[in-house]
Amino acid sequence: MNNPKTIETKLSNIEKILTEQQEQPMTFKEACKYLNVSSSYLYKSTHKKKIPFYKPGGKMIYFSKRDLDNWIFKNRINSDDELEQAADKYLKGNNI
């Protein structure tokens, strides 16, 4: 049976690994694979500054997973149900 000290150590190691993985920059190819987009699409998006990226040496392009996640979830499309609820709420609030 594992003692509490061993379990704490293992959890600490797992946390460290996860934190390090999240902080590592993604290369252009890794970002394409992560987003499931073509290199052409990603290049155009960076060129038009539609997606956040880093270019520390002026040549290589890097991405932050957190930035990519925020970009993915930026333009949420509401469902028909949500739109109907918002319309009902608006109509009730304006006594229409």
Closest CA to 27 of 61, 72, 65: 61
Q: pLDDT tens digits for 9-62?
A: 888 888 877 776 667 899 999 999 999 999 999 999 999 999 999 999 888 999
Which pTM was predicted? 0.63
| Other Cβ atoms closer than 10 A to 51 | 20
Q: Which residues contact 55 (CB under 8 A, 6 or more apart)?
A: 61, 62
User: How many domains is the chain built from?
Assistant: 1
Contacts 24+ apart (CB under 8 A), 16-24: 22/65, 22/66
* Distance of alpha carbon 43 from alpha carbon 28, whole angstroms: 9
- Show the domain range for 84: 4-93
